[in-house]
Amino acid sequence: MKVWQTWDRRRRIICVTGAFVMLWSITQGFAWLISPSEQQLTAEGRELFIHAWTPNDPLSGDGDGLGPVFNANSCVACHLQGGTGGAGENKHNVRAFSVLPNRNDSNIYGGVVHANATAKHLLETDQQVQQHYPIIPGGVTVIGNCQVRLEDFNPVEFEVINTPALFGAGLIDGISDWSIRRNAWGQSLSALGKEFQGNFDATMGKVRVLPDGRVGKFGWKAQFATIEEFVATACAVEVGLSNSYRQQDQPGEFKADENAEYDMTNRQLDSLTTFCLTLKRPELVMPRNSREHSAVVRGRQVFTEIGCAECHTPDLGGVKGLYSDLCLHRIADPDHNGYVRKPEVPLPSSVPGLTEWKTPPLWGVADSAPYLHDGSSPTLKDAIEKHGGDAKHTRKKFQEGIDKQDRKALIAFLKALRAPSPEKIVAQAVEN
């Protein structure tokens, strides 16, 4: 009897387990059948990328749609140079600000002064930012047995930011943290070797390490580790579309509105991210004319010879033709008085300095004017000549170390780095 009871109990366990496995298999198979394909998500994401959002938009579910504060009413309004997903024109530059650590508050803050709003009274200004983070008055304080005079300190630093291109974003997203770190270590070792030989012109990039330990790859300050984070934040901050990663900004408060309803579903966010991940990579397009072809070949050599490739690394993490180390570099010189603005409290080593910017990938650069982080250079030649800081030795070689023909050849090479050829989509103008 005991043997039979034991066998019966085992049989029931086997049957229940088998039924569970079968149910799980059916569920997984059904989920696979109804899960959208990459092609479906890409198509949906493309429509969202070009969609001109409106207040209380039908696509925004329970959310309020566009805004209430925003910079553009669609993704393509800013990302259109060279085709859908490209860089932006200066008219859509973003006015960003950073709040530097100081004697009253050692924390670091940042945000955007939005250019547009769904109602006139919601429009934001620099003055509102300054009211939130007022100038800290100076005075005389005693430290130890000494009197120290402290000057007034304005903790707010404003910056104009140009829209970066998203072509090849999926390849960049796939570059490992290890590849970026290893390349930066190689730069450091090379720089040390040159310094031992008395050459102090070498460049060392700084890897942007985020608070969770990941390496930043997207954004002018490398503040995002993945394209998904970049897309989600851009939707919330630039268009005013709350989502599960980041909620829209509260007008005039320069912080996320924690009570805002979601304007985007996770499916919409996934599809928009998938579209960006599948954007084609730019290519080197060689001219057919033999003389122009030779100029591009020579220009690529000059690019390496004068030091451009130190920061604009041609290949990184298995991605060829990227022309970026994805690291932070100082590209601005001190002013004519030798002054460099600094925070009262030193920034953590992992946080970019005011003059440090991520090296932008140069693939597609021919179709991404204007140039530099603020869009202040209308031409490639002007952009090279505005490079200072870590790149001043390269600028000097460009201006004085090579002849006119080599300068032309270098520009010819850069003009051969073309955006892919996607369909052109005309962006709907934003009402200011």
Question: What's the pLDDT tens digit per position in 184-215?
Answer: 999 888 767 666 666 656 678 899 999 999 99
Other beta carbons within 10 angstroms of residue 374's beta carbon come to 16
Range 150-170 average pLDDT? 94
Domain coordinates in residue numbering, the chain: 2-35, 283-418
pLDDT at 35: 75
**What is the average pLDDT score of the chain?**
88
pLDDT bin (cut points 50, 70, 90) of residue 332 is: confident
93: pLDDT strictly greater than 50? yes
Range 323-349 average pLDDT? 78
pLDDT at 151: 82
426: pLDDT strictly greater than 60? no
pLDDT bin (cut points 50, 70, 90) of residue 425 is: very low
Cα 430 from Cα 432, distance rounded (Å) = 6
Asked if 93 and 162 touch (Cβ cutoff 8 Å), the reply is yes
pLDDT at 394: 94
Beta bridge partners, 117, equal 69
Mind listing the pLDDT tens digit for each residue in 212-254?
999 999 999 999 999 999 999 999 999 999 999 999 999 999 9
Asked if 192 and 328 touch (Cβ cutoff 8 Å), the reply is no
Bigger pLDDT: 429 vs 327: 327
150: pLDDT strictly greater than 90? no
Angle, helices 266-277/227-234, rounded to nearest 10 degrees = 120
pLDDT bin (cut points 50, 70, 90) of residue 27 is: very low
Choice among 4-8, 54-58, 279-283 with the minimum mean pLDDT: 4-8
133: pLDDT strictly greater than 60? yes
- CATH number among 1.10.600.10, 1.10.10.10, 3.40.190.10, 1.10.760.10, domain 283-418: 1.10.760.10
pLDDT at 350: 82
pLDDT at 349: 82
316: pLDDT strictly greater than 90? yes
259: pLDDT strictly greater than 70? yes
Bigger pLDDT: 346 vs 287: 287
Asked if 343 and 100 touch (Cβ cutoff 8 Å), the reply is yes
Angle, helices 38-50/266-277, rounded to nearest 10 degrees = 90
Cα 416 from Cα 109, distance rounded (Å) = 40
Q: 358 exposed, middle or buried (CB, 10 Å; 0-12, 13-18, 19+)?
A: buried
329: pLDDT strictly greater than 60? yes
pLDDT at 25: 47
pLDDT at 335: 56
pLDDT at 21: 43
What is the value of pTM for the model shown? 0.86
Mind listing the pLDDT tens digit for each residue in 46-83?
999 999 999 999 999 999 999 999 999 999 999 999 99
Choice among 21-30, 230-239, 316-325 with the minimum mean pLDDT: 21-30
pLDDT at 293: 97
Cα 417 from Cα 380, distance rounded (Å) = 12
Mind listing the pLDDT tens digit for each residue in 164-185?
999 999 999 999 999 999 999 9
